[in-house]
Amino acid sequence: MRRPTWLVVALVELIIGAGGYLVMREVAGEPSPASSEQAGLPLRNPEQWVSENGVLRVRIALERRRVDVAGQKLRAVAYNGHYMPPTLRFRPGDRLELALENRLGEPTNLHVHGLHVSPKGNSDNVLTHIHQGATFHYSYQFPSNLAPGTYWYHSHAHPLSEAQVSGGASGIIIVDGLQQYLPPNLRNITEQVVALKDFQVQGDAIKTENINISATTKRTVNGQLNPTLKIRPGEVQLWRLANISANIFYQLRLKGQKFNVIAQDANPVNRIFAAESLILPAGARFDVLVEGGPPGSTQLETLPYNTGSAGDQFPQANLATVISDGERMTPPALPSTFAPTEDLRNATVDAKRTVVFSENSAGTQFFINDKQFAENRVDIRAKLNTVEEWTVRNTSNEQHSFHVHTNDFQVMSVNGKPQESHGLQDTAILPANGEIVIRTHFTDYTGKTVLHCHILQHEDAGMMAILEIVR
């Protein structure tokens, strides 16, 4: 259940290259640009690499090195010398050219989590092995109808994904376009990235092996401990909430306020809905509108959360202090409807399947349909341009974070109870000793992709299967 590890970071400088595209060059021997952090400092949004003329070109190097994180200097796994690396930002229809250099000593790769893009070749191919010293050139051509919202990128190297992501190898992706569904007076509001990452410390390093998921961990926002976030009373901001940690769950609450959800897992919702708290299993995201409350301060916190008798218990923790200050603004009314969504409730179902998640009694081996992951075995074949309904069953005494690559899904029911859908998603809680029913429309792309538990410790220990989409 506890996996050995190794991992990541390198240092680069962002420059403007030929054609005006954002590129990077290495800066040898410099320390991480991040300064030491203390709790209570203003929230810093990550640096952004933004596409230009329809293309984003970046170079990312990975190596293990010392970085500044949450007020400590620790050896970590990071992209380009950052525990909280730059955000990749582009528009639907753009192309991403990404060179990934491996300085780890063991294989790695990269996954663009949630993005509807080809799983083959040099695109989002998580079966790629990038060996020590090699540079792999990813090329992603995104469709013009790519859903806008918040995604993320991270290592997907089996069986070392937990070690690398726990060490810090994760960052944010933003696909622009959500604002088109907002009324004009909300299209230029302040955005805040709220990237949730946690780490445990072992000596002078972030712990990456023999991880006890329930052990005490430092929960950070954008790599900071309890930063402050300012908003005016009545002001509406767009917050991009993203759980980009390896294993843990969050149940977010902003005391005295509500989250107005406009997208889940980078899928715009059909209507905005308000929630007093939001559960983010490993890998999940929500884009939300937040209104500034009365003058004063309040806490963005994660509430106590228990994933089951065989699972993990996470205590309450304060994540950020939200300060409402300044002249009051008059908040605009939110629209009753938001974006068009695909609704599969009345779709013709071409095939039905049962997919069972299970584990051994010691919680050290994990299975899908009684099999552990094998790279050379295809577990499910689905046909392009069909809709399938899966009953995903969990026979263990703990929740899992169910995730599928390439095509998002609609949750039809949870433990037999029909669900009101607001749109598609790519990650869902699979209840302990329970089941969910989902429907998926396989569109645009063929090739081998995967489904798995996004608790990466479970994925690395076998809870992953290959899904091949064929014509």
Counting every residue written for the chain, the total comes to: 471
Rounded Cα distance between 79 and 165, Å, is 11
Nearest to 470 by CA among 375, 379, 385: 385
Q: Structure tokens of 427? A: 């990650």
User: Do the domains 184-324 and 12-178 match in fold?
Assistant: yes
Residue 392 carries which side chain, given as an amino acid letter? V
Rounded Cα distance between 224 and 41, Å, is 8
How do residues 51-82 score in pLDDT, each as one tens digit? Answer: 999 999 999 999 999 999 998 999 999 899 99
Q: Which CATH number fits domain 12-178: 2.60.120.330, 2.60.40.420, 3.20.20.70, 3.30.413.10?
A: 2.60.40.420
How do residues 246-266 score in pLDDT, each as one tens digit? Answer: 999 999 999 999 999 999 999
pLDDT of residue 336: 80
Residue spans of the domains in the chain: they are 12-178, 184-324, 351-470
Cβ–Cβ under 8 Å, residues 263 and 149: yes
Rounded Cα distance between 399 and 10, Å, is 35
Cβ–Cβ under 8 Å, residues 380 and 439: no
Q: Structure tokens of 226? A: 């309890």
Per-10-residue mean pLDDT of the chain, 471 residues long, equals: 34 33 34 46 96 98 92 93 96 98 95 98 98 97 98 98 98 97 94 98 96 97 97 97 98 96 98 97 98 97 98 98 96 90 97 98 97 98 98 98 98 97 96 98 98 98 98 97
Say what the pTM is.
0.91
pLDDT of residue 39: 66
How do residues 140-199 score in pLDDT, each as one tens digit? Answer: 999 999 999 999 999 999 999 999 999 999 999 999 999 999 999 999 999 999 999 999
Backbone conformation region of residue 20, classed left if phi is above 0, alpha if psi is from -120 to 50, else beta: left
> Domain 351-470, what architecture?
Sandwich (2.60)
> Domain 184-324, what architecture?
Sandwich (2.60)
**Percent of residues in the chain assigned helix, strand, coil, to nearest 5:** 5, 45, 50
Nearest to 402 by CA among 353, 355, 344: 355
